[in-house]
Each structure stands twice: as C-alpha cells, then as structure tokens.
Amino acid sequence: MSEELKLTILKKLDSEGSIENTTAAFKDVSEDVVLGALKSLESQEKVTYVTLTTEFWTIEAEGKDQLENGSYEARIFEAVPAGSQGIAIKDLEAKFGKVAKLGQGKCLANKWVKKDGDSLVRVADSIVDQVKAGLETVHATGTHPSKDAIKDLKRRKLIKANKTISYAVSKGAQFSTELKKQATDLTIEMMQSGAWKSAEFKKFNFKSLGVNPNSGNLHPLMKVREEFRQVFFETGFEEMPTNNFVESSFWNFDALFVPQKHSARDLQDTFYLTDPTVANSLPDFWETVRDVHEKGGYGSIGYRYPWSEDEAKKLVLRTHTTAVSAHMLNKLAQGPYRPAKYFSIDRVYRNETVDATHLAEFHQVEGVIADKNMSLGSLISFLDIFFKKMGMTDLRFKPTYNPYTEPSMEIFSYHEGLGEWLELGNSGMFRPEMLRSLGLEEGVQVAGFGLSLERPTMFKYNISNIRELMGHGVDLGMVARNPACRLDKKMGKEALQRPEAVDEI
C-alpha cells in the first residue's frame, strides 16, 4: 500500500502540478498513511508538503435535541398562551421537567415573558429561535459566520470543536515518477562489488529522536547508602576501607574482646571458610589479646579460660563491620595521638534462616568516634545531632549488653505515622580491654554505633519483604521506578501512614 500510494502521489503531481488537499485527493486513505508516504518522499527530495489544519464543529446530543425540537426557551415561550392569563410555572415544570427551569431563565433574560405571581405571561408577540437557527447553520456547514454564535453554542455545550489535518503537496528538487530503493547502510559487499558508486543512499534524519538507550539505575539500597554517606561526611567522618569480606576470627571476635566460647562464634551463626580454613599469621599484639582474655587487665579480670591460637586463626565471612573498625583503631594507635571519626557501610554475613525480614547477607552502617574525655553523654549528644539530620528528633536509649561495649545502648525513635517506638540500632563505649589491646593510649575512649541499611530502605520504599530488595527475586522495574531517597523527608510507609500524605505524594 505504501509503495502504491507513493507512486499515486508522484503521478498525480506529474499530471496536475500540485495537490491542494490530500483529504480530498485520497478520500479512502487515512491521513496517517498519507503522512508516512509524504515523509518518505520528502526524504528523497521528491516532494515538499505543508500541513493544513481545518477546524469544524459537530453537534452534541443535547444540541441535536434542540435542533430537532427547538431551543428550551422557544419551547417554553410556545407553551405560554397569549393574553394576560399566562400559565402556571408548576404546570410548565410538570410538562417539560428540568428543561422548564432552563428555558424559563432564558425566556426571562430575553424578555419574552414575565412573571405574574406564580405564573408566566407573554411579553413578546412572536420570537425568532436563534439557537435552533445557529444549530441548523452548524449542521449544514460545520461552522458559523458569527463568532458570538459559536461562543454561545459552545458555552451551552451544544457543539464541540473538531480538527482535521491534511496536506498541500508540491514537487521537490529531485522530483521524478520513478521510485528507487535507497540503501540505508554501506556494506562490505557494496564496497567489494563497487555497487556503492551508483547506489542512492537514504539521508540521515537528524531531527529524529531515535530510540532511548538503555541505562543503569541506582538500587534503592545504594540511594539510601549515599544519603547516609553524606550525613557522615557533613559531621566530619572519614570512610573506612571495607574490601576485606573475609577476616580471621582474631579480628572478627578476639580483638573485640568476644570470648572464644561465645554463641556468636557457633556454626549456626557464622560462616567459616573451608578452603583455606585458617589465616597464615596473627598480628604482633596477639599475645596481649590472649593475656587479656585469659588473665584480664586494664581493670578487668578477663574471661579466665585457655585462649586458643588455632581458634583465632580460623577464617570467617565477617559478621560485622566492627572488624574493620578494629583494624582502623589499631592503625590509629601506631601514630601520634589525634582524634578520629570513622564510618563504614558495607556487607556482612550471618548464618541465618532466610525469611521476609532476614537474609544471610545484609549491610551494616557503623560509626566510631575516638577522642580523649569521651563519655556516654558525648555519644548521646552526637546521636541526637546525627539522627536529627535524618528527620528523627524524638530519641530514646535503652540499656543492653554487648561483649565489646560497656555501657551499651539500643537506640529507639518515635514514629508519628505508626504511633510507636522503632529500634534504629545499637551503640556503646568500647571496652578498655579492647582499646588498650589495640594499642590506644590511656585516656582515649571510643564510642561506636551501628544500624542496618536494609530496614530504613524497606521503610522508605514501602517494601515489606527483604527478598524483594536483595537477591535473585529483585524486580528490575522496581529499581528503575523508585525515586531518589531523602532521609529527612517523609516517603514510603512514613508518608502512607498519614492522611495528608496524598497531597505530599
């Protein structure tokens, strides 16, 4: 059809010189098909064309009723008898229904009738139904010579505007009635045969938008992670290197003053490597760590058990990023004293049963502050500032137990939308048994805190099953659709919990 139409257009131009209106010339062909043929011919410079837009009016259902039976006001006027007696308004309403009220108002405005008590009486002897006359003109011609008439009919929703698009076509610079297939690519075969010399190539259309290229999208976890990173940077923290996913039990547990019989080191909680199974060596201060575990020190009596070097060498997938913090604090102790703030956000691994809220791998957000004269009050004061930057101002702290912090606190925030206190994370002051073994001098205290990355992400993006956030079940469409994260703004479940949330979204 397309090739036939192109030939028909070219032959018509050849015989007539131009085509004034394609709608009239090709009545049985849709304008979309005509436009496609014209664009193709224009690209070959065989034709040029101009778009013609014609506006016309069609009569709506209510207009068709008034075209056939007269306008509402004309019907009311005809129903009012001549003379001073008139007709009761309630009789008009009984006869015409809702039309009576509309027609009555127009009649009074046109001064065709007047009220006399509860009746209408004629004022004019006769009338001209301009509405019906206007509709007859529109019906016959598709328009009306009077703009005021069109405006009135449109306001009364008796007519509707429509547009038709057609094209005026002229000969182009390379006009001919012959259609030659254009080549779109220069191929190796054309180069070898020499066919490229006589081939006619299709011109590039630089106005075409082309196909949108596929692009990557940031995962919701990465969006929330970046928000956390910015909060840390704003409060003066340095980011720790977290590329060691495998740690020795020494760094993951022993250096943190976690006893070797602690339940966290059981197979049901920790992933142990099978190849290789152990680290080649331990750091220089391993004997200090051993002695603190066995005999105590720095104000502690220790755990009083035989510490095993073989146990400390076992390799594990790190169960927390606090192992990274231990490395950094040991490195900090090697140089002259200076205050430090470190943070990390990366994956950790636990041998847990996978369900809607737990995975065997997840992300931990951790921060540590090392300084002299640090206290629990200093930590609470900082946490108030830190979480305020995320839009959380009402905090509570609950005492808890951690092997390597004392005192230790769980952090809670009141959520107005849910009407309950939500646990945010854990915090505390690192024990001197850990800090002095790592080489930090007397008087230097270290506060630490940590929280999950997944929980705030699920909350922000209204995700109820963690397996929809990580793993093979992730919907890539969800990744592409979700907006950027703002920790200090309400979104996801937070927004949905409040009545005014609809306006904000």
- Asked if residue 39 has pLDDT above 80, the reply is yes
| Segment 268-298, tens digit of pLDDT | 688 999 999 999 999 999 999 999 999 988 8
Give the pLDDT of residue 487: 56
pLDDT digits (tens, 9 = 90+) for 350-359: 887 777 667 7
SS3 content of the chain, % helix, strand, coil (to 5): 40, 25, 40
| Confidence (pLDDT) at 418 | 64
pLDDT at 221: 83
Helices (H), 184-333: 188-193, 220-234, 249-252, 286-294, 309-313, 322-333
- Confidence band for 216, pLDDT divided at 50, 70 and 90: confident
Percentage of the residues of the chain whose pLDDT score is greater than 90: 40
- Mean pLDDT over 343-349 rounds to 91
Looking at residue 237, its pLDDT comes to 93
The whole-number average pLDDT for the span 467-476 is 76
Q: What is the pLDDT of residue 485?
A: 61
Does pLDDT of 169 surpass 80? yes
Helix, coil or strand: residue 426: strand
Q: What is the pLDDT of residue 160?
A: 93
Q: Which residues, at least 6 apart from 416, have a Cβ–Cβ distance to it below 8 Å?
A: 498
CA distances from 344 to 18, 88, 362, 391, 482 (A): 74, 87, 13, 21, 25
Residue-by-residue DSSP string for 446-487: EEEEEEESHHHHHHHTT---GGGTSSTT--HHHHHH-----T
| pTM of the predicted model over 0.85 | no
Mean pLDDT of the residues in the chain: 85
Task: Give CA 320 to chain center in angstroms.
Answer: 31
Q: What is the pLDDT of residue 107?
A: 92
pLDDT for res 498: 44
Q: pLDDT grade, residue 149 (50/70/90)?
A: very high
- pLDDT in the model for residue 503: 37
Q: Is 413 exposed, middle or buried (0-12, 13-18, 19+ CB in 10 A)?
A: middle
pLDDT at position 488 is 54
Q: Is the pLDDT of residue 504 over 60?
A: no
pLDDT band at 490 (very low <50, low <70, confident <90, very high): low
What is the predicted pLDDT for the residue at 505? Answer: 29
Percent over 70 (pLDDT), the chain: 93
The side-by-side arrangement of strands in the sheet containing 87-88 is: 87-88, 119-122, 113-116
Q: What is the pLDDT of residue 359?
A: 73
Average pLDDT over every residue of 487-495 = 52
Residue 70 confidence (pLDDT): 92
pLDDT per residue over 411-458, tens digit each?
888 776 667 787 888 999 999 999 999 999 888 999 999 888 887 777
- Of 210 and 167, which is predicted with more confidence? 167
Asked if residues 362 and 378 have their Cβ atoms less than 8 Å apart, the reply is no
When pLDDT is cut at 50, 70 and 90, the band that residue 315 belongs to is very high
